[in-house]
Amino acid sequence: MTSSTVLPSPVPAVGTPETAPAHTPRAGTQLALADDLLTLLRTTTTEPRPDDQLEALTVAVAADLPVLLWGEPGVGKTAALTQLAASLDLPLTTVIASVHEPSDFSGLPIVGDDPAVQGVPMAPPQWAVELVRAGRGLLFLDELSTATPAVQAALLRVVLERRVGALQLPPDVRIVAAANPRASAADGWELSPPLANRFVHLYWVHDRDVVVRGLSGVWPRAELPRLVPERLPKAVAFARRAVCGFLEARPTLIHRLPNTETRRGGAWPSPRSWEAALTLLAFGTAASVSREVLALLVRGAVGDGPGLELLAHLDRMDLPDPESLLADPASAELPVRGDLRQAALEAVVTAIGARPERERWEAGWAVLVRAMETGAPDLLVAPATTLAALRRDDWEVPEAMERLAGVVGLARRADRSVGRAKASADARRATGARR
């Protein structure tokens, strides 16, 4: 999968290709002319462009989930957030976590006239007050992996409860953070597990084409996902059914704290992160995002292993019912994707094996013929071999089986049941010829 990013050029007055402001150089000193040149360099435009990485970020922001962008220095995490805020028309508040004290997030105690009666309130910092005054905005917590453990602990309530001291941030404030891996961070720390588990982790990398086009003056535009109203209830029902069904089958993945410090600082499964995965799945379904974007989001919430297992579970949920395929083989609708098509055919054979009856066995061959007519025949070898092995001695070989024999090479396989079936078919044809 190709990911892309908005790289750190001096971030611009963002416009569209049609409305980018013209600039007339000023007459005057050489320093004024230098400023004019810098203005021209910093004036760029944006364009709609497919970008899985940027789309995953906007879906998570729309879902009101805290996002943590991981990436090496210089790949454009800060510039991406600046452009995202401009595209979404959100005031951007940047807080460099590593240069702040814990009290800048938990609040500074202020003694009033009568602390025994009134208590000691925790005064919020100026940046939090300005966010509340604006009523909306994008809070960008930069350099998170260089924040000390004490600062990380103070950030817990900010990220999860949106509280800074005694101040509650407005609902329309979104939180995004950025961090470098410890190996490339300036005096870096591993992220604490409680703080890491509150984020959706996205790994930010650069894309050559985006870099080249962006340096020419045109960057990808961040846009919120387009949610379709009539899909919302179905999207929520689907997400709940998918996550709950998966966790019923894999209960050991409900909570699994990694056993290494580095992995604990990333995405891992817990009830909190599964709730985030459910939310992202609902948003992704309602917005009809691609599988690549959905994979970035789910893996970013619960980790690579559990996330990939959930995605495989979603594929199985989309498989057609094998009994429906057996009931009407001639009009069977099989998945287009090869792995899903093979899984559907194997499910049909398994269903026949669970209740082997001649009519069902013959219908199974008709399903395989349908698959041969609508897709690649090489996928039929395994299910056809297994189906042939289910034949009883008193079952006639159907015409469908004979049609498949030449395609999948059943005669070349060393399965005695297939050999008997082929011999029986040859004997019947020879008898008919003599007559």
Q: How many Cα atoms sit within 13 Å of 375 on the Cβ side?
A: 22
**279-320 tens-digit pLDDT:** 999 999 999 999 999 999 999 999 999 999 999 889 888 788
pLDDT band of residue 4 (cuts 50, 70, 90) is very low
Angle of helix 291-302 versus helix 52-62 axis, rounded to 10: 60
Q: Are 53 and 204 in contact (CB under 8 A)?
A: yes
155 Cβ partners below 8 Å, 6+ apart? 97, 105, 141, 144, 147, 195
| Six-digit token string for 220 | 């990808």
Q: Are 96 and 83 in contact (CB under 8 A)?
A: no
Domain final residue, candidates 169, 195, 220: 220
Return the pLDDT at 404. 77
Are residues 393 and 380 located together in one domain of the fold? yes
- The neighbouring-strand residues paired with 219 are 46
In a domain, 363, yes or no: yes
Range of the domain at 257: 230-317
Are residues 154 and 80 located together in one domain of the fold? yes
Are residues 342 and 195 located together in one domain of the fold? no
User: Could you tell me which of 14, 9, 3 has the C-alpha nearest to residue 92?
Assistant: 14
CATH at 170: 3.40.50.300
Domain final residue, candidates 317, 352, 381: 317
Are residues 356 and 418 located together in one domain of the fold? yes
Return the pLDDT at 159. 92
Are residues 88 and 191 located together in one domain of the fold? yes
Are residues 238 and 163 located together in one domain of the fold? no
User: Could you tell me which of 220, 158, 230, 168 has the C-alpha nearest to residue 195?
Assistant: 158
Are residues 184 and 332 located together in one domain of the fold? no
In a domain, 132, yes or no: yes
H/E stretch holding 41: helix 30-42
Residue 114 vs residues 98, 106, 107, 225: alpha-carbon distances, Å: 35, 22, 19, 51
Are residues 103 and 211 located together in one domain of the fold? yes
**% residues pLDDT > 90 (the chain):** 35
Q: How far apart are CA 219 and CA 10, in angstroms?
A: 12
In a domain, 61, yes or no: yes
| Six-digit token string for 50 | 């497919």
In a domain, 113, yes or no: no
**89-127 tens-digit pLDDT:** 889 999 998 888 888 888 777 766 666 666 667 778 888
Return the pLDDT at 69. 94
Are residues 274 and 403 located together in one domain of the fold? no
Are residues 81 and 208 located together in one domain of the fold? yes
Domain final residue, candidates 292, 317, 342: 317
Are residues 271 and 206 located together in one domain of the fold? no
Q: How far apart are CA 347 and CA 328, in angstroms?
A: 15
Are residues 286 and 312 located together in one domain of the fold? yes
Return the pLDDT at 429. 65
The pTM score is 0.72
